[in-house]
Amino acid sequence: MVFNIGSQHEAINNVAGSQTTHGGQRVSFTDAAAIVSAGELARALRGLGLGESARDVDEIERELKQGTPDREHVASRLTHIAQTVTAIAGAGSAVHRPLVALAGWLGAPGSPVLHALGL
């Protein structure tokens, strides 16, 4: 049996046998992981010559480090960045993984970021 999954944006469970889930399944993405992803994204944007977008991500990283980021505000800025980079960088680019990771950390507010990336 072969399964071909184009992309996965939620938790992945490898289970030998049966699995029963009651009450939904949630994935936790820590603020520390979001900070790491923001740093990766800023470096990747600088590598593409997108200094203005990288500075926006630097501001997002500072907000994340303060401990109570405004997720809607972060989502808005990341959506704009995703729209910018989608025009010049493909899904395999260095900016894609940290953008997807940060969108996952945002939860529902991250949906526009994923949409801008074509996911």
In the block, tokens 């071909």 appear at 4
**pTM more than 0.75:** no
* Assigned token pair, 37: 């992803």
Q: What span, in angstroms and rounded, lies between the C-alpha atoms of 48 and 24?
A: 39
pLDDT band with cut points at 50, 70 and 90 for residue 97: confident
pLDDT band with cut points at 50, 70 and 90 for residue 118: confident
Q: Residue 50: CA atoms inside 13 Å, Cβ hemisphere, count? A: 23
